[in-house]
Amino acid sequence: MAEWVIVVDDDTANLKVAGHILSGAGMRVTALKSGKTFLEYVREKGAPDLVLLDINMPEMDGFETLKSLRDWEKAEKREEMPVVFLTADETADRENQSYAAGVLDYIRKPFEPDILVKRIDNILSRQRRISTLKNEAETDAMTGLLNKAGVTKIFAARCAGNEGCLMMIDLDSFKLVNDIYGHDAGDEVLRDFAEDLRNSVPEGSSLGRIGGDEFIAFIPGAADEEKLREFTAGLNERIAANGKRIMGEDTDIPLGVSVGAVMVPEWGTVPEELRTLADKALYRVKTGGKHGFALYKGAMPGDDDGAEGDLKTISAIMGERNILDTALMLDRTTFPYVYQFIMRYLVRNRGGAGKVLFTLSPEEGVSEEEFAECCDSFGEQLKNSLRKSDIITQSRSNQYFVLLIDVRADSVRMVVENAIGHWRSSGGTGIRIRYESEYTGADADRDTGKEG
């Protein structure tokens, strides 16, 4: 696209000459005859790539026009337009005064065509480089969305009195992608999600990545819960499909999206305050099962509203009185956090733990449906046969990962065989059980066994 130059001069002859020279060099030229006309024009039509502004004009000279332009840009929080002064005055004082006013260059009339084009080309090239550097400084290299700096700058203007919806978007279980499949796979998930996010929002939306798997969006216009539900469901459907494409159809990572939203300006216009409210809504989603959305509607039970609790109440909320006399079965999303904490605790206190992976396969003649039921039954039996200090997760549909806490190395095999024995003695059939065990501690060992 041709670069756009506005020439402002009260002399028609100068306008024609400048227009002829610059148009011949492939530029788009708009000619205006007064500072007042110019200011009205850019307010309506937008900013050109460059302004050539004559100093000596009646009513409003170049200096007055430039000051009015800068005042308007500042009030509207707009980027400053690059301005070059035009003049027939050859005095050094005038030139110094012009640069002090903030112009990029100072070109004397009458114009020398080759020199004029060359100087304008140099200025535009410099502006392109500056623009590129600004974009790079405000753009996340991984996804092409705004980075933290870009979000801080752009969202302040977007939320200032505009109607819309600010969303905090978090990827569920993304850390597992990096941990299991590596950062290359994780990067591909992020890039695909960013592209899908761009394609899912209406024109005029602003999008940013503010953390590893944390995103932010401002969507203009009114939104309701049904639209948010459809938006979130679509993101979840597509990220799950992309995850299987990247990691394989057999991946069991529950990759998904959680969204916390707040309406603007109903709940404010300051991005930092709006993000806090959207984060509260997001927290409700994260603690309520993930893969969904919540729209902030005001303080709800559980929000940190400054009210103090007591030890008895908080312990009851945490479930202290409802500890079952079985091993703890955790879902795949929660298990890694508990696992990491326990391993840190054991390292700090020089403790030991046994890790066991049970892999199940169907016996001959067992259907897929019967096998699935057997896998579920084995997991239930495993939970009841282990100690309540042990932790289990179903890592895949036919696998159970067990962490035996505070156990000796020579006891791991005994615990495993005891669990398999309980399954057999309870009449369990239909599956073959293979296990692999490992001990983490001073006398670390590794054992692999089979049970037919």
Residues 113, 241, single domain; the answer is no
**Structure confidence by residue, pLDDT tens digits, 111-123:** 888 888 988 998 8
User: Is position 143 within any domain?
Assistant: no
432: pLDDT strictly greater than 90: yes
Summarize the confidence of residues 121-139 as an average pLDDT.
77
How far apart are alpha carbons 253 and 172 in whole angstroms? Answer: 9
* Segment 55-82 mean pLDDT: 90
**What is the pLDDT confidence band of residue 167, given thresholds at 50, 70 and 90?**
very high
Q: Name, in order, each residue with C-beta under 8 angstroms of 418's C-beta and a sequence gap of 6 or more.
A: 385
Let me know whether 253 and 225 are in one domain. Answer: yes
For the cut 80, the answer to whether the pLDDT of residue 403 exceeds it is yes
Amino acid at the residue 187: D
Model pTM? 0.51
pLDDT score, position 49? 92
CA atoms within 13 A on the CB side of 399: 12
pLDDT digits (tens, 9 = 90+) for 36-56: 999 999 999 999 999 999 999
- The answer to whether residue 302 sits within a structural domain is no
What sign for the dihedral angle of Cα 276, 279, 281, 284? Answer: negative
Answer whether residue 312 is part of any domain.
Answer: no
Calpha distance 165→157 (Å, rounded): 14
Q: What is the DSSP letter of 146?
A: B
Angle between helices 12-24 and 113-138 (to 10 degrees): 70
Instruction: Specify if 301 maps to a domain.
Output: no
The pLDDT of residue 320 is 43
**pLDDT surpasses 90 at 311:** no
Per-residue model confidence (pLDDT) at position 321 = 41
* Candidate from 104-118, 128-142, 218-232 with smallest mean pLDDT: 128-142
Please check whether residues 237 and 348 belong to one and the same domain: no
Residue 43 tokens read as: 């307010």
DSSP states of 42-66:
HHHH---SEEEEES--SSS-HHHHH
Alpha-carbon distances, residue 66 vs 44, 87, 95, 319 (angstroms): 17, 14, 15, 67
From CA 349, how far away is CA 339, in angstroms rounded? 15
Residue 317 forms part of a structural domain? no
C-alpha radius of gyration, the chain, whole number: 33
Domain boundary residue among 111, 138, 165? 138
| Enclosing domain of residue 364 | 322-451
Q: What is the mean pLDDT of the chain?
A: 86
Most confident by average pLDDT, 20-34, 376-390, 402-416: 20-34
* DSSP-derived 3-state class of residue 165: strand
The pLDDT, as a whole number, for residue 57 is 92
Give yes or no: residues 444 and 326 share one domain. yes
User: For residue 136, what pLDDT is reported?
Assistant: 64
| CA distance linking residue 318 with residue 380, whole number of Å | 24
> Do residues 197 and 249 share a domain?
yes
248 and 339 share a domain?
no
Span 68-92, mean pLDDT? 86
pLDDT higher for 351 or 34? 34
Query: Is residue 264 located within the same domain as residue 350?
Result: no
304 domain-assigned? no
Q: Do 264 and 372 fall into the same domain?
A: no
Beta strand 83-87 with 391-396 is unpaired
- pLDDT, average across residues 62-74: 93
Same domain, 281 and 163: yes
Residues 257 and 390 in one domain: no
- 54, part of any domain: yes
| Peptide bond before residue 110 is cis, with ω within 30 degrees of 0 | yes
Residue 435 confidence class, pLDDT cut points 50, 70, 90: very high
In a domain, 113, yes or no: yes
Evaluate whether 149 touches 138 at the Cβ level (below 8 Å): yes
pLDDT attached to residue 105: 86
* Alpha-carbon separation of residue 425 from 165, 219, 288, 381, 419 (angstroms): 58, 60, 38, 11, 10
Could you give the C-alpha distances from 185 to 140, 194, 247, 258, 398, in angstroms and in order? Answer: 18, 14, 7, 20, 24
**How many domains is the chain built from?**
3
Q: Which of 437, 448, 445, 356 is nearest to 402 (CA)?
A: 356
Tell me the CATH number at 371.
3.30.70.270
**Alpha-carbon 193 to chain mean position:** 9
At residue 276, the pLDDT reads 92
Q: Are 267 and 277 in contact (CB under 8 A)?
A: yes
Tell me: do 212 and 283 sit in the same domain.
Answer: yes
pLDDT of the residue at 317: 44
**Residue pointed to by tokens 């070109």:** 107
pLDDT at residue 1 in the model: 60
In this prediction, residues 375-385 reach a mean pLDDT of 90
Token digits for 170? 């978090």
Q: Which of these, 28, 20, 23, lies nearest to 3 by C-alpha position?
A: 28
pLDDT at position 95: 79
Question: 122: domain CATH number?
Answer: 3.40.50.2300
Question: Residue 144 gets which letter from DSSP?
Answer: S
CA 337 to chain centre: 22
Domain co-membership, 196 together with 104: no
Each residue's pLDDT tens digit, 249-308? 888 889 999 999 999 999 999 999 999 999 999 998 988 888 999 999 987 545 555 445
